[in-house]
Amino acid sequence: MTILGIESSCDETAAAVWADGSILSNIIASQTIHEQFGGVVPELASRAHHKTIWKTVDQALREADISLDQVDSIAVARGPGLIGSLLVGLSFAKGLSISQERPIIGVNHIDAHMYANFIEHEEVYPFLALIVSGGHTRLVQVDELFSHKVLGKTRDDAAGEAFDKIGKLLNLDYPAGPIVDKLSKEGDPAFHDFPRSMINKGLDFSFSGLKTSVLYYTQEKGEEFVQQNLNDICASVSAAITDVLHVKLKRAVKKTGVKNIMVAGGVSANSMLREKVEEMAQKMDLHLMIPSIQYCTDNAAMIAITGALKAREGRYDDLQIKPFARLA
């Protein structure tokens, strides 16, 4: 089966082709217009998708060396995400579905982050997934394909959102998460003890208190101090966020007894988080799945693989499928 995947839930226009059990192409057109605003502007994002979606899909098909006639199904992100951006991808996918007479498959963007792990890892159940991205932080138990149970979620800011907002406080460019990670490698995680909210309680997360703590700290120390110690501050912030994430995952393992674990979403690219989870998996004799960096952030390969899994189960949609800004 050959699946064309389309992703447009936020500010990345992406297309990918899955065929014969592997990804043949994975094209991402990143939008740079949002950098000047320090965050994604929804209207500008949807307009940029309009301009690039056909070129992106065409490039994915060319790189995979297939034609539209060879595509069996079209998988597309239906949410959660920015409604205007989702509409562009979903409308385009519907057009292809009609013109090519091919079935359409709506994909949950968060599900896709999890199942992106099966691009490179053997499909195995049950597993625990720590999903960490700019808009979502949650712990999910998956007993079988598409059977999900949310064990914990953020009560306020998501982990990726915290990285970006704190980066903005530190006068870093958007998106700040990867920059904080890069600077952290040259810093001391023990430089300052930022709060680890709810680290000793349950499986839910909270990162808004950390953001406030960094705000007060930087205001007290002053801009010159912050710039002189930027690497150490970034390392301390990264330590605070990743400590909470990996401790919660460890607690979930002990609570459920599940030995297969995965980390997914944009923040799974964070080097400090990867190191901590890898060390935890080794000590606890766990089977760990983390995607390659190219499959961590928003991409269409994750949509294509999830579409392939849904097609295998006969889970197709019709042209009445709608986008959702929020999706369970």
Question: Are 211 and 300 contained in the same domain?
Answer: no
End-to-end CA distance of the chain: 28
Burial of residue 220 (CB within 10 Å: 0-12, 13-18, 19+) is exposed
Going by the DSSP 8-state scheme, the letter that residue 317 receives in this structure is B
Give the residue from 77, 213, 194, 76 showing the smallest Cα distance to 135: 77
Domain that holds residue 11: 2-114+296-312
Q: Quote the pLDDT of residue 20.
A: 87
- Is residue 303 located within the same domain as residue 284? no
| Residues 258 and 141 sit within 8 Å (Cβ to Cβ) | yes
Instruction: Please state, rounded to an integer, the average pLDDT across all residues of the chain.
Output: 95
Do 129 and 274 reside in the same domain of the chain?
yes
Euclidean distance between CA atoms 150 and 179, whole angstroms = 30
- Same-domain check for residues 247 and 304: no
248 and 151 co-located in one domain: yes
φ/ψ bin of 171: left (φ > 0), alpha (ψ from -120 to 50), beta (otherwise): left
Closest CA to 245 of 290, 185, 212, 213: 290
SS3 224: helix
Same domain, 37 and 155: no
Residues 253 and 136 occupy one common structural domain? yes
Per the domain annotation, does 158 fall within a domain?
Answer: yes
Report the pLDDT value the prediction gives residue 178, as an integer from 0 to 100. Answer: 93
99 and 13 share a domain? yes
Which residues, 6 or more positions from 315, have their beta carbon under 8 angstroms from its beta carbon?
105, 146
Cα–Cα distance for residue pair 241/214, rounded to 1 Å: 12
pLDDT tens sequence across 82-120: 999 999 999 999 999 999 999 999 999 999 999 999 999
> In this model, does residue 8 exceed pLDDT 90?
yes
Is residue 257, in this structure, part of any structural domain at all?
A: yes
The one-letter amino acid at 175: P
Annotated binding site: 109, 113, 131-135, 164, 177, 181, 270, 298
- Same domain (yes/no): 223, 140: yes
Strands 260-264 and 287-289: parallel
CATH number, position 144: 3.30.420.40
What would the pLDDT profile of 225-271 be if each residue is shown by its tens digit?
A: 999 999 999 999 999 999 999 999 999 999 999 999 999 999 999 99
The answer, yes or no, to whether residue 157 has pLDDT greater than 80, is yes
Q: Which residues are annotated as a binding site for Fe cation?
A: 109, 113, 298
Helix or strand (DSSP H, E) at 151: strand 147-153
Domains: count for the chain:
2
Q: Is-cis flag, bond preceding 103, omega within 30? A: no
Q: What value does the mean pLDDT take over residues 141-158? A: 96
In a domain, 240, yes or no: yes
Tell whether 321 is covered by a domain: no
If asked whether residues 174 and 92 sit together in one domain, one would say no
Residue 319 lies inside a defined structural domain of this protein: no
Residue 323 lies in a domain: no
Annotated binding site for substrate: 131-135, 164, 177, 181, 270
- Is beta strand 127-132 parallel, antiparallel or unpaired with respect to 137-144? antiparallel
Q: How far apart are CA 249 and CA 288, in angstroms?
A: 12
> 284-288: long-range contacts at Cβ-Cβ below 8 A with a sequence spacing of 24 or more?
284/250, 284/253, 285/259, 286/253, 286/259, 286/260, 286/261, 287/124, 287/259, 287/260, 287/261, 288/261, 288/262, 288/263
pLDDT for 33: 73
242 within some domain: yes
- State yes or no: pLDDT of 135 exceeds 90: no
Tell me if residue 6 falls in helix, strand or coil: strand
At residue 211 the predicted structure's pLDDT band, cuts being 50, 70 and 90, is very high
A 10 A CB-CB count for 124 gives: 14
For 86-143, the DSSP string reads: HHHHHHHHHHHHHHHT--EEEEEHHHHHHHGGGGTS---SSEEEEEE-SS-EEEEEEE
| N residues, the chain | 328
Task: Identify whether residues 152 and 270 lie together within a single domain.
Answer: yes
Contact 8, 86 (CB under 8 A): yes
**Is there a single domain that holds both residue 139 and residue 272?**
yes
Residue 250 lies in a domain: yes
